[in-house]
């Protein structure tokens, strides 16, 4: 007794595979003058009709589910790799006694097998004709080519699924890594902050020269470790896309003055001049992410001072053209509320510079650009400039090395910013 049911095809196929199946069936119907065409899936026990076209007589409908014992489409995969051609299903030994034959009605039939790239049978591409059309060699070749096309689509679908699974696993790993780093960072920062705070308290007590040296070593080592922790955590956040950009009003002059004061002692110790330069007619109040701007400038200033033994270090701010990325102090943003301008920062030093062969690697993570002696002397993770570049790009800006030679280097970055009140001096 014939048993049939119907399934939701879209629960079996993806939208892309369904569209491909429909296109193949449509192409077959235009090239071969048969009545009905279908793509069917053969699983362990049943055949599922995934897509059909009927010209006049309705022989098969999409979603039909039928046991393999009553499936012409399963006969195709069961009888080997060669196409199956049946001139008359009412008299052919494979079909004349099947329960499904009265259901289908008298017809001619042709089917080709669809396999995946690893040799597994997916199903079949079939044609039925109630007027007993005689299939030609050209028809067989056409159906075989269309089946091969669908096999390629199956491979693409499988590759896409594997890629998606790998991407989800990668994101899961990044999430776990980010969470682990956050936990480790918190667990290490807490005792390290205690060590640094105790060290600062000890500095206010009477100490011998030897004790002062030990205390300085503890403080400098602790500070270096805190910097390392912050850089690794920031890199992890940027890598996992978890870092957000805030937009709050801030004082440009206040920001730059605070930064120069932060490095004033170090510059004085090395005998280096440290200057902040802001045009007199520059607005002071801007809207942006001050904390990230400070973080970028701290890193650039720290590098500039670290690798400069004499001369000066300058930090400048000015308004520039976003397209040209050049200094244009006289350029003014349009007047009005929330006007956009490109705020450019430049950090210039008179250090030894970066050799031309190392400059292409400048913003790569974990890259040390200096000699082994420099690395041993100054340390560092090679993350600083990479983080700066990512932070700038996160704010829709661009960081670049404008020049570097034996007489110094100049790093420049421009950020699209807004002015709450566009008030310029004369």
- CA–CA separation, 178 and 176 (whole Å): 5
What average pLDDT does this structure show over 233-241? Answer: 66
Correct CATH for 4-162 of 3.20.20.140, 3.30.460.80, 3.30.450.40, 3.40.30.10: 3.30.450.40
Higher-confidence position of 218 and 39:
39
What average pLDDT does this structure show over 345-362? Answer: 86
Report the percent of the chain where pLDDT is more than 70.
82
What average pLDDT does this structure show over 292-315? Answer: 90
pLDDT of residue 165: 86
Query: What pLDDT, in 10s, does the model give residues 306-319?
Result: 889 999 999 999 98
Quickly state the pLDDT bin for 185 (edges 50, 70, 90). low
Correct CATH for 244-419 of 3.30.1330.40, 3.30.565.10, 3.30.70.100, 3.40.50.2020: 3.30.565.10
Q: Reduced to 3 states, what is the DSSP secondary structure of residue 199?
A: helix
Quickly state the pLDDT bin for 281 (edges 50, 70, 90). confident
* Helical (H) or strand (E) element with 264: helix 252-270
What average pLDDT does this structure show over 204-219? Answer: 82
Per-residue pLDDT for 323 more than 50?
Answer: no
Task: Read off the DSSP letter of residue 284.
Answer: S
Strand pairing report for 108-115 and 121-129: antiparallel
* Helical (H) or strand (E) element with 108: strand 108-115
Which two structure tokens, joined as six digits, stand for 162? Answer: 């594997």
pLDDT of residue 242: 66
Per-residue pLDDT for 240 more than 70?
Answer: no
Which two structure tokens, joined as six digits, stand for 224? Answer: 């270096």
- CA–CA separation, 46 and 4 (whole Å): 10
Question: pTM of the predicted model, to two decimals?
Answer: 0.50
Quickly state the pLDDT bin for 409 (edges 50, 70, 90). very high
Locate tokens 């069917």: which residue? Answer: 40
Quickly state the pLDDT bin for 169 (edges 50, 70, 90). confident
Give the residue extent of every domain in the chain: 4-162, 244-419
Per-residue pLDDT for 338 more than 50?
Answer: no
pLDDT of residue 191: 77
User: Does residue 147 contact residue 39 with C-beta atoms inside 8 Å?
Assistant: no
User: Does residue 346 contact residue 414 with C-beta atoms inside 8 Å?
Assistant: no
- CA–CA separation, 307 and 304 (whole Å): 6
Query: What pLDDT, in 10s, does the model give residues 101-123?
Result: 998 899 999 999 998 888 888 89
Quickly state the pLDDT bin for 194 (edges 50, 70, 90). confident
């Amino acid at each position: 007794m014939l048993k049939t049911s119907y399934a939701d095809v879209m629960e079996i196929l993806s939208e892309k595979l369904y569209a491909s199946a429909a296109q193949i069936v449509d192409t077959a119907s235009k090239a071969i003058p048969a009545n009905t065409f279908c793509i069917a899936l053969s699983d362990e026990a049943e055949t599922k009709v995934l897509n059909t076209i009927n010209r006049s007589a309705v022989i098969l409908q999409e979603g039909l589910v039928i046991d393999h014992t009553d499936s012409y489409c399963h006969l195709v995969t069961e009888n080997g790799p060669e196409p199956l051609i049946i001139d008359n299903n009412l008299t052919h030994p494979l079909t004349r006694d099947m329960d499904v034959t009265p259901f289908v009605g008298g017809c001619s039939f042709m089917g080709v097998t669809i396999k995946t790239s690893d040799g597994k049978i997916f199903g079949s591409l079939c044609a039925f004709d109630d007027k007993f059309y005689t299939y030609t060699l050209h028809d067989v070749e056409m159906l075989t080519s269309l089946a091969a096309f669908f096999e390629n689509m199956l491979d693409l679908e499988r590759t896409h699924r594997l890629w998606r699974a790998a991407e989800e696993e990668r994101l899961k790993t990044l999430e776990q890594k980010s969470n682990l780093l956050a936990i480790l960072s918190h667990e290490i920062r807490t005792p390290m902050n205690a060590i640094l705070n105790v060290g600062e308290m000890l500095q206010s007590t009477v100490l011998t020269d030897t004790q002062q040296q030990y205390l300085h070593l503890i403080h400098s080592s602790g500070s270096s470790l805190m910097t390392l922790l912050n850089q690794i955590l920031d890199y992890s956040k940027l890598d996992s896309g978890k870092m957000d950009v805030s937009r709050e009003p801030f004082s440009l002059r206040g920001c730059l003055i605070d930064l120069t004061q932060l490095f004033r002692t170090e510059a004085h110790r090395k005998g280096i001049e440290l200057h902040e330069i802001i045009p007199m007619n520059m607005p002071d109040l801007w809207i942006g992410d001050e904390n990230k701007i400070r973080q970028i400038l701290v890193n650039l200033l720290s590098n500039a001072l670290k690798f400069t033994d004499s001369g000066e270090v300058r930090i400048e701010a000015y308004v520039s053209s976003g397209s040209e990325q050049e200094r244009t102090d006289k350029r003014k943003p349009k007047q009005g509320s929330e006007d956009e301008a490109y705020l450019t920062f430049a950090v210039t030093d008179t250090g030894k510079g970066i050799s031309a062969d190392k400059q292409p690697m400048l913003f790569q993570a974990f890259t040390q650009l200096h000699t082994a002696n420099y690395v041993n002397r100054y340390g560092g993770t090679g993350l600083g400039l990479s983080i700066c570049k990512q932070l700038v790009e996160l704010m829709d800006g661009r960081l670049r090395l404008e020049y570097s030679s034996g007489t110094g280097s100049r790093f420049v970055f421009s950020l699209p910013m807004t002015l709450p009140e566009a008030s310029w001096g004369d």
